[in-house]
A and B are shown apart, each in its own frame.
Chain A
């Protein structure tokens, strides 16, 4: 868990200060970023669920339970995020500082960026949860729902409503979403927090 949190802090400070990334900034980012706090609390909650499944009620799990119970509601109100405890989140993930995230997938791979006002959850009346791969870029105002998988390196453009699987390195856009381009390299998108993407530039050529 600790190594994952250090990787998160590194990613957040790199995105916020693309020019320079010092050790001081990696400490400072903990006080400047609400998304990082959401992520940290989620990782603690996930670790608590694991511990309790393995060892049952011990002093440690009781203390963790009290800590999580006390911080959950204030954090939800301050950050406007509701991130499920049981998500398996890889190291180095960015959740937007602007909040309004309602997340409930099965897994989120490492290196994924999720922008504000995104909902990821189940289809109503169907328990299958989505799986988000590694190095995925998810733009603001997206909805991803249903028993599906978003492949590694995929890009979901702002405002897309995805209810079917997105293959690896593909670009999904529109409402309902379609695959507008395949074999797109989103490294450039993931290296900054720019969100105003021109969909035309990603259309098939």
Chain B
């Protein structure tokens, strides 16, 4: 218990993810009439928490993103995850932008993707399972499963790259 509290205090990314999950919970409880009196308070708390996470830590995980279980945000600052779909056990670093560009379909990322710091995934692209995106890479084209993407514009430099060693594990 003490370790759980310490982790929640120390990990800014975890706080941001918890706020996002709380927002999703509020969103899904819209249909339960018995919960309606509680919802305004819930949204108020959510709004304040989102403001804190965005202004203090610079992490922005919008509710338009659809994120699977086990999402990891490394460090803090400049993280934007908006209008996209991320699979399970994904990991992003600081200054990462996923699915930032306006309206329309956002990027779809598979399970177990390791997205490095300062990288960008924009546009309606499909990124496969177990993909590794090197720090600073800009992805604007489809990426096959288990590929390693490097550079600007992003190129697949290696196929069949195993990122299980670098993904944060539970």
Is residue B84 within 8 Å, beta carbon to beta carbon, of the partner chain?
A: no
Q: Please list the residues of chain B having a beta carbon within 8 angstroms of any beta carbon in chain A.
A: 56-58, 75-78, 93-95, 114, 116-118, 134-138, 150-152, 165-166
Interface membership of A176, Cβ < 8 A: yes
Encode A98-121 as 1/0 by CB contact (under 8 A) with B.
011010000000000000010101
Q: Which of B57, B95, B135, B166 contacts A145 (CB 8 A)?
A: B135
Tell me whether chain A's interface is mostly helix, strand or loop, or mixed: loop
Does any Cβ of B come within 8 Å of A175's Cβ? yes
Q: Does A24 contact B (CB under 8 A)?
A: no
Contacts A119-B95, A119-B117 given; does A102 touch B78 at CB 8 Å: no
* For the complex of A and B, 9 pairs with smallest distance between CB atoms: A161-B136, A124-B166, A175-B152, A100-B77, A77-B56, A125-B166, A143-B136, A143-B135, A143-B118
Task: Out of B93, B95, B114, B134, name the residue touching A100 (CB < 8 Å).
Answer: B95
By beta carbon, the residue of chain B nearest A162 is B136
Q: Does A10 contact B (CB under 8 A)?
A: no
Question: Do residues B136 and A175 form an inter-chain contact, with CB atoms below 8 A?
Answer: yes
Could you tell me the distance between the alpha carbons of A80 and B76 in the complex, rounded to whole angstroms? 8
Digitize A56-77: 1 where CB-to-B-CB distance is under 8 Å, 0 elsewhere: 0000000000000000000011
Q: What are 30 contact pairs spanning A and B, CB under 8 A? A: A77-B56, A80-B58, A99-B77, A100-B58, A100-B94, A102-B77, A117-B77, A117-B95, A119-B94, A119-B117, A119-B118, A119-B135, A121-B117, A124-B166, A125-B165, A125-B166, A141-B118, A143-B117, A143-B118, A145-B135, A161-B118, A161-B135, A161-B151, A163-B134, A174-B152, A175-B136, A175-B151, A176-B136, A176-B150, A176-B151
